[in-house]
Amino acid sequence: MNLARLLELGEAMHQELGREYYLTGAGLKAQPAFQAIYDRYGALVSDEALDAARASGAAPLVEWIVGIRIGRLVASLEEDQLRWEQEAVVRAGDRQVPYLRVPIELANEPDRANRLALDDARGRMVAGEVTRLRRERFGLEHDAVERLGYGDYVSGSSALMEVNLPALARAGEAFLSASEALYRDALARLAKRRLGVPVGQLERADVAWAFRVKEYDAAFPLGELIETAVRQMREMGMDAHQAGRVRFDTEERPAKQPRAFCVPIRVPEEVYLVLRPRGGHSDYRTLWHELGHAIHFASVDQGRSFADRWLGDNSVTEGFAMLWDHLTLDPTWLGRYTGLRAAEVRDLRVELLVHELYSVRRYAAKLAYEIVLHGTGLPTGGPEYAGRLTEATLFRYGEDDYLQDVDPGFYAARYLRAWQLEAAVSAELTRRFDVDWFRNPRAGVFVQHLMSRGQADPADRLAQEVTGAPLSFGPLLSRLEADLQ
């Protein structure tokens, strides 16, 4: 197989997968046929395909082909897990809650005893079937990477991703130390006010309720969600619809996924943004995040290669998504696009920022844990998981989720690098265009130009070029310190 044929097949397969993902996620089609699509493109998992990718010398192509191989290998286990999640019902006391609804219930349940009971029952279910499926799945992934000659899973993944995962985990641990006191103080105040519970007694079941910011829902109305996004993009000289290339699917359908998502079918010509919003800050943040992905895909130069348009370091697209979603944490943005008064903006923002710090610390701990987990074998990760996550977040994590809460393919590393990239680019935009860069058409031109390359450059190269400094936790930490102290 020559390279041109490989790329042609690859693009055709991604278009089919994208369409299938859109139709099933949007509730337009009941039975997903991913396996059938993979089967039709079986040539992509042949040794000739891998040889052609390796011969090209392009690391993203090799990572892509290995990813398709692993994807096919674990597809049936993944489907089994999805099916389990759709059918499982959690029973706590006399309540019966569908498994997929548990996060929504936890975020809206004011009674602490009910939250703890529900999450405990959920955890005990996960510890059974899901853990079994995940153990088998990760075992297959380890074997596949080793069989391809990449050594163990951690060094193999580092090589394939071109990210030094242990070094990133060490930087994450340094971030945890550096932000420890800041986090403990800010969380203690929030926990006392929101839950009346001291830091030492917080449980993971409390997380979503603690950060729910429910009383601000009216400032983020459902009816103005898309209109606000369109208006803000226009002020920045940008078209939220990207001349029709970004299509908003907001229609209500019973089988539609509750979470918003963005899926490209053709890059850059046809990108779907699927929403099922209910209003509130987190819906606004989610829309801005997915809109960031959508505009990124829809901005890529048509003439770019398949690899630049579809592949590469996902820290970049996550970084642009975060660049947009972090606007909903910005005081100037909140003042301009919501009806909140200055004092309300100040109070809301503190809560959002403590949540932000919680999330970064959680991911830093997750990456360090996942490296230990994948490095030392799977069956006994429970105590390591609970210990590290509890220490980093100061919410007590149990052992039940030690395999469920693992992002396949070290995606936690993509998020951590995206956080680094977002903070660096946002600081640069503020330096060049001032704090309200998000309504400055010159900033719009600047950002759109960066996005036009797709993921041709990994996050570290992009950050170096834009800011003149290497990718690090520095800008993120300085911003959190300035905002929270």
Q: Using the minimum distance from each CB to Zn ion, give the nearer residue, 313 or 318.
A: 318
> Of residues 124-163, which lie at the interface with Zn ion (CB under 5 A)?
none
Q: Using the minimum distance from each CB to Zn ion, give the nearer residue, 242 or 315.
A: 315
Stretch of 139-147, 242-250, 320-328, 359-367 lying at the interface with Zn ion (CB under 5 A): 320-328
Q: How far apart are CA 262 and CA 23, in angstroms?
A: 12
Contact 186, 358 (CB under 8 A): no
Q: Using the minimum distance from each CB to Zn ion, give the nearer residue, 205 or 323.
A: 323
Stretch of 95-103, 124-132, 312-320, 371-379 lying at the interface with Zn ion (CB under 5 A): 312-320
Stretch of 19-27, 318-326, 338-346, 430-438 lying at the interface with Zn ion (CB under 5 A): 318-326
Stretch of 232-240, 315-323, 421-429, 448-456 lying at the interface with Zn ion (CB under 5 A): 315-323
Q: Using the minimum distance from each CB to Zn ion, give the nearer residue, 69 or 309.
A: 309
Q: Using the minimum distance from each CB to Zn ion, give the nearer residue, 271 or 321.
A: 321
In whole angstroms, the minimum distance from the beta carbon of 424 to Zn ion comes to 18
Q: Using the minimum distance from each CB to Zn ion, give the nearer residue, 150 or 324.
A: 324
In whole angstroms, the minimum distance from the beta carbon of 259 to Zn ion comes to 11
Q: How far apart are CA 430 and CA 437, in angstroms?
A: 6
Stretch of 83-91, 121-129, 235-243, 314-322 lying at the interface with Zn ion (CB under 5 A): 314-322
Contact 206, 192 (CB under 8 A): no
Total residues found in the chain within this entry: 485
User: For the chain, percent helix, then strand, then coil, each to nearest 5?
Assistant: 70, 5, 25
Contact 269, 282 (CB under 8 A): no
**Integer angstrom CA distances of residue 80 from 29, 74, 83, 203, 322:** 19, 10, 5, 29, 31
Q: Using the minimum distance from each CB to Zn ion, give the nearer residue, 270 or 318.
A: 318
| 321 lines the binding site for Zn ion (CB under 5 A) | yes
Q: Using the minimum distance from each CB to Zn ion, give the nearer residue, 318 or 351.
A: 318
In whole angstroms, the minimum distance from the beta carbon of 317 to Zn ion comes to 7
> Of residues 447-466, which lie at the interface with Zn ion (CB under 5 A)?
none
In whole angstroms, the minimum distance from the beta carbon of 316 to Zn ion comes to 11
Q: How far apart are CA 466 and CA 450, in angstroms?
A: 9
| 418 lines the binding site for Zn ion (CB under 5 A) | no
- Beta-sheet pairing, 270-274 with 261-266: antiparallel
Q: Give φ, ψ of 120 to 5 degrees.
A: -65, -45
Neighbours of 193 (CB within 10 A): 12
In whole angstroms, the minimum distance from the beta carbon of 318 to Zn ion comes to 5
Q: What is the 8-class DSSP label of residue 395?
A: S
Q: Using the minimum distance from each CB to Zn ion, give the nearer residue, 205 or 321.
A: 321
Q: How far apart are CA 173 and CA 392, in angstroms?
A: 9
Q: Using the minimum distance from each CB to Zn ion, give the nearer residue, 17 or 316.
A: 316
**Integer angstrom CA distances of residue 450 from 244, 443, 455:** 20, 11, 10
H/E segment holding residue 375? helix 342-376
Q: How far apart are CA 301 and CA 354, in angstroms?
A: 38
Q: What is the 8-class DSSP label of residue 31?
A: S
> Where does residue 431 fall: left (phi above 0), alpha (psi -120 to 50 degrees), or beta otherwise?
alpha
One-letter amino acid at 361 equals R
In whole angstroms, the minimum distance from the beta carbon of 262 to Zn ion comes to 8
In whole angstroms, the minimum distance from the beta carbon of 289 to Zn ion comes to 6
In whole angstroms, the minimum distance from the beta carbon of 422 to Zn ion comes to 11
In whole angstroms, the minimum distance from the beta carbon of 427 to Zn ion comes to 21
Residue with the CB atom nearest Zn ion in the bound state: 321
In whole angstroms, the minimum distance from the beta carbon of 293 to Zn ion comes to 6
Q: Using the minimum distance from each CB to Zn ion, give the nearer residue, 138 or 415.
A: 415
Q: Which of 68, 85, 92 is nearest to 133 (CA)?
A: 85
Stretch of 59-67, 316-324, 330-338, 388-396 lying at the interface with Zn ion (CB under 5 A): 316-324
- Give the count of residues interacting with Zn ion (CB under 5 A): 2
In whole angstroms, the minimum distance from the beta carbon of 261 to Zn ion comes to 9
Q: Using the minimum distance from each CB to Zn ion, give the nearer residue, 294 or 340.
A: 294
Tell me, residue by residue from 271 to 310, as one string, x for binding to Zn ion by CB under 5 A and - for no binding.
Answer: ----------------------------------------
Q: From the CA atom positions of the chain, what is the Rg in Å?
A: 22
- Name residue 70's beta-bridge partners: none
In whole angstroms, the minimum distance from the beta carbon of 44 to Zn ion comes to 25
Q: How far apart are CA 415 and CA 370, in angstroms?
A: 14
Q: Using the minimum distance from each CB to Zn ion, give the nearer residue, 321 or 459.
A: 321
Tell me, residue by residue from 41 to 60, as one string, x for binding to Zn ion by CB under 5 A and - for no binding.
Answer: --------------------
In whole angstroms, the minimum distance from the beta carbon of 204 to Zn ion comes to 23
Q: Which residues bind Zn ion (CB under 5 A)?
A: 318, 321
